């Protein structure tokens, strides 16, 4: 058990101490400016103001800030682009919001070693721009290009390309990070394997800013895609679509993306973007995204994939054919979340289940949705089992929504975990999903997680209240 003492207020003397740190550093403490930093993209109105926003530009400043925070017992919440969907960067205990966008240099791109060294505030879009034309690519593609690399490492972000290229952690070779007391950890390196002690790189990746602040990242790059095409396939049912997935995954080349979607989300996004997607009237669809070396390979792939889909009930297949039509399809997929948001209040669930369980899970979700009287829209990454579910406050009163959503959410997580799933496939736990983590991990595992946290952050000042509450039981055994 920790004897967690209350955090101190960020007094003007402490702010002045931070302002005296050498080098360019921005400190914002005027109330009217802080309002820009009280939330991320998580729906549901979770908000909390920091006492000050601090924007460093150098790793040594991060160390100095954490040293001051430890000395005065001030909580520190790191923030990247603020695009997170689990409330991870919301400073729920006030204190310092450490905005990492000032560390924004692409330090090196090594074309012979296929690596890049970047600071955490570089966005996915900026890295992509830098790599354009170089023959190299960073293949992790979460839907939001203003997300920072630091944020994507901290959440172990996934995205549409995960089926072929894996998620962020498969591309993080090394890190520099600063612990709560201001010490630097340098782990991993510009090499692809290592059996040399505990792997702090992988421990810090996905730790949502609770163990250390990431100040530098060594990324593994891949070869840039030469040719990308999409096969868009309607199916009579979601079961038919998902049944086709194992056979599709046996084909070479592996698809980069393999997305499932139902009719209702396509109707919603079409209304939102005003761009029609030729799709007929079918219940479910697969979007198969393939990168090939040349048109022959692409053609061979499509012939085989089409045959598989037809065996599983598909009536037809569509290839967009030109760049505009292809962009329209991808654009539709990237706009699912904004289109749903435009409808009103919604929830974001990104549960992952073994991929063959997707139809069973979705049948259960639909039954729960009907019983709760709350519509749930579903789509996701068929290739990796990551199901995106959005209960929406549509045709029901706000009061009904507030009263019945918590039980529906709980029942959905229980169902997914009973099928062998996990709470979050890519967004992280943050604050919005932490109450569900004990459904997945037993108390012994959570206890070890809390011990790891306290070994690296003994005073619990780094992003407190995220993933789990540290005040919870810590076993005294052993």
Cβ-closest position to ligand FAD: 151
Q: Which of 250, 312, 314 is nearest to 280 (CA)?
A: 314
According to CB under 6 A, which one of 75, 422, 463, 468 is a site residue for ligand FAD?
Answer: 463
Q: Cα separation of 10 and 91, whole Å?
A: 13
Say if CB 374 and CB 396 are below 8 A apart: yes
Q: Cα separation of 434 and 468, whole Å?
A: 6
- Residues in contact with 89: Cβ distance below 8 Å, sequence separation at least 6, in sequence order: 40, 77, 78, 79, 80, 82, 97, 151, 209
Count Cβ atoms within 10 A of the Cβ of residue 360 and give its class: 0-12 exposed, 13-18 middle, 19 or more buried: middle
Phi, psi of 27 (to 5 degrees): -125, 125
Q: Does 159 participate in binding ligand FAD (rule CB under 6 A)?
A: yes
Cα of 258 vs its chain's centroid, Å: 18
- Residues from 293 through 312 that contact ligand FAD (CB under 6 A): none
According to CB under 6 A, which one of 43, 59, 84, 255 is a site residue for ligand FAD?
Answer: 84
To ligand FAD, the closest distance from the beta carbon of 234 in angstroms equals 23
Q: Does 208 participate in binding ligand FAD (rule CB under 6 A)?
A: yes
- Residues from 97 through 126 that contact ligand FAD (CB under 6 A): 100, 120
Q: Does 79 participate in binding ligand FAD (rule CB under 6 A)?
A: yes
From 104-112, 143-151, 227-235, 316-324, give the range in contact with ligand FAD by CB under 6 A.
Answer: 143-151
Instruction: Give whole-number Cα distances, 89 to 163, 390, 431, in Å.
Output: 27, 21, 9
According to CB under 6 A, which one of 95, 206, 209, 375 is a site residue for ligand FAD?
Answer: 209
Coil, strand, or helix at residue 76? strand
Q: Does 214 participate in binding ligand FAD (rule CB under 6 A)?
A: yes
- Residues from 333 through 352 that contact ligand FAD (CB under 6 A): 337
Q: Does 139 participate in binding ligand FAD (rule CB under 6 A)?
A: no
Q: Does 257 participate in binding ligand FAD (rule CB under 6 A)?
A: no
Q: Does 213 participate in binding ligand FAD (rule CB under 6 A)?
A: yes
Say if CB 86 and CB 68 are below 8 A apart: no
According to CB under 6 A, which one of 43, 50, 75, 81 is a site residue for ligand FAD?
Answer: 81
Q: Does 61 participate in binding ligand FAD (rule CB under 6 A)?
A: no
Q: Does 152 participate in binding ligand FAD (rule CB under 6 A)?
A: yes
Q: Does 375 participate in binding ligand FAD (rule CB under 6 A)?
A: no
Count residues binding ligand FAD (CB under 6 A). 38
Say if CB 38 and CB 47 are below 8 A apart: yes
Q: Cα separation of 223 and 138, whole Å?
A: 8
7: left (phi over 0), alpha (psi -120 to 50) or beta: beta
Q: Cα separation of 13 and 29, whole Å?
A: 13
From 147-155, 238-246, 294-302, 319-327, give the range in contact with ligand FAD by CB under 6 A.
Answer: 147-155
According to CB under 6 A, which one of 176, 229, 291, 426 is a site residue for ligand FAD?
Answer: 426
Smaller CB separation from ligand FAD, 305 or 332: 332
Phi, psi of 215 (to 5 degrees): -120, -10
Q: Does 78 participate in binding ligand FAD (rule CB under 6 A)?
A: yes
Residues lying near ligand FAD in the complex (CB under 6 A) are found at 40-41, 77-85, 88-89, 100, 120, 142-144, 147-148, 150-152, 154-155, 157-159, 208-209, 213-214, 337, 426-427, 430, 463, 466
């Amino acid at each position: 058990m920790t004897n967690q003492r209350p955090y101190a207020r960020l007094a003007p003397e402490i702010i002045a101490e931070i302002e005296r740190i050498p080098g360019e550093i921005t400190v914002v403490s005027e109330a009217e400016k802080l309002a820009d930093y009280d939330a991320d993209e998580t729906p549901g109105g979770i908000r909390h103001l920091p006492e000050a926003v601090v924007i460093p530009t150098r790793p040594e400043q991060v160390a100095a800030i954490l040293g001051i925070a430890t000395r005065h017992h001030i909580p520190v919440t790191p923030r990247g682009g603020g695009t997170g969907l689990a409330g991870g960067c919301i400073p729920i205990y006030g204190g310092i919001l450490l905005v990492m966008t000032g560390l924004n240099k692409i330090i090196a791109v090594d074309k012979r070693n296929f690596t890049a060294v970047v600071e955490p505030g570089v966005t996915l879009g900026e890295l992509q721009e830098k790599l354009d034309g170089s023959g190299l690519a960073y293949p992790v593609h979460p839907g939001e290009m203003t997300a920072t690399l630091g944020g994507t490492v901290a959440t172990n972000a996934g995205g549409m390309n995960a089926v072929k290229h894996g998620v962020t952690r498969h591309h993080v070779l090394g890190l520099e990070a600063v612990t709560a007391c201001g010490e630097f950890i340098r782990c991993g390196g510009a090499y692809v394997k290592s059996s040399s002690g505990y792997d702090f790189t992988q421990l810090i990746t996905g730790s949502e800013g609770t163990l250390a602040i990431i100040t530098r990242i060594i990324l593994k790059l891949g070869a840039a895609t030469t040719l990308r095409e999409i096969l868009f396939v309607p199916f009579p049912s979601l079961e038919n679509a998902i049944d086709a997935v194992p056979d599709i995954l046996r084909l070479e080349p592996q698809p980069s993306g393999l997305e499932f979607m139902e009719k209702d989300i396509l109707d919603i996004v079409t209304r939102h973007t005003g761009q029609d997607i030729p799709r007929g009237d079918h219940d479910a669809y697969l979007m198969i995204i393939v990168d090939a070396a040349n048109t022959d390979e692409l053609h061979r792939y499509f012939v085989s994939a089409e045959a598989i889909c037809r065996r599983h009930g598909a009536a037809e297949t569509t290839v967009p054919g030109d760049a505009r039509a292809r962009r329209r399809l991808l654009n539709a997929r990237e706009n699912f979340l904004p289109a749903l948001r435009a409808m009103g209040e919604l929830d974001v669930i990104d549960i992952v289940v073994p991929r063959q369980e997707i139809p069973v899970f979705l049948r259960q979700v639909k039954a729960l949705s009907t019983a709760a009287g709350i519509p749930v829209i579903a789509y996701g990454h068929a290739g990796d089992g990551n199901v995106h579910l959005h209960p929406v406050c549509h045709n029901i009163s706000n009061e009904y929504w507030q009263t019945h959503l918590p039980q529906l959410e709980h029942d959905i997580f229980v169902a997914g975990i009973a099928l062998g799933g996990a709470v979050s496939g890519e967004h992280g736990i943050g604050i919005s999903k932490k109450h569900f983590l004990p459904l997945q991990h037993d108390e012994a595992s959570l206890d070890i997680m809390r011990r790891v946290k306290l070994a690296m952050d003994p005073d619990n000042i780094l992003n407190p209240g995220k993933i789990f509450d540290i005040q919870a039981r810590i076993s005294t055994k052993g």
